[in-house]
Chains A and B, each alone.
Chain A
Amino acid sequence: EAGVTQFPSHSVIEKGQTVTLRCDPISGHDNLYWYRRVMGKEIKFLLHFVKESKQDESGMPNNRFLAERTGGTYSTLKVQPAELEDSGVYFCASSRGREAVEKLFFGSGTQLSVL
Chain B
Amino acid sequence: ELKVEQNPLFLSMQEGKNYTIYCNYSTTSDRLYWYRQDPGKSLESLFVLLSNGAVKQEGRLMASLDTKARLSTLHITAAVHDLSATYFCAVDSRGAQKLVFGQGTRLTINP
- Residue ranges of A at the interface with B (Cβ–Cβ < 8 Å): 3-4, 9, 31, 33, 35, 37, 40-45, 48, 55-56, 59, 91, 93, 100-109
Contact with A along B46-87 (1 / 0, CB 8 A): 001000000000000000000000000000000000000000
- Please, which residue of chain B has its CB at the minimum distance from the CB of A44? B101
B34 interfacial by beta-carbon distance below 8 Å? no
Let me know if A107 and B42 touch, CB within 8 A.
yes
**Cβ of B32 to closest chain A Cβ, rounded Å:** 11
Task: Check B98–A56 contact: CB distance below 8 A.
Answer: yes
**What distance in Å separates the Cβ of B54 from its nearest Cβ neighbour in chain A?**
14
Complex interface: chain B residues within 8 A of A40 (CB): 103-104
- Roughly how many angstroms separate A41 CA and B88 CA in the complex, as a whole number? 11
Cβ contact of A55, chosen from B4, B35, B44, B97, cutoff 8 A: B97
A42 and B102 within 8 A (CB): yes
Q: Among A9, A35, A42, point to the contact of B103 (Cβ < 8 A).
A: A42
Q: Which residues of A contact B35 (CB under 8 A)?
A: 106
Contact B101 A101 (CB under 8 A): no
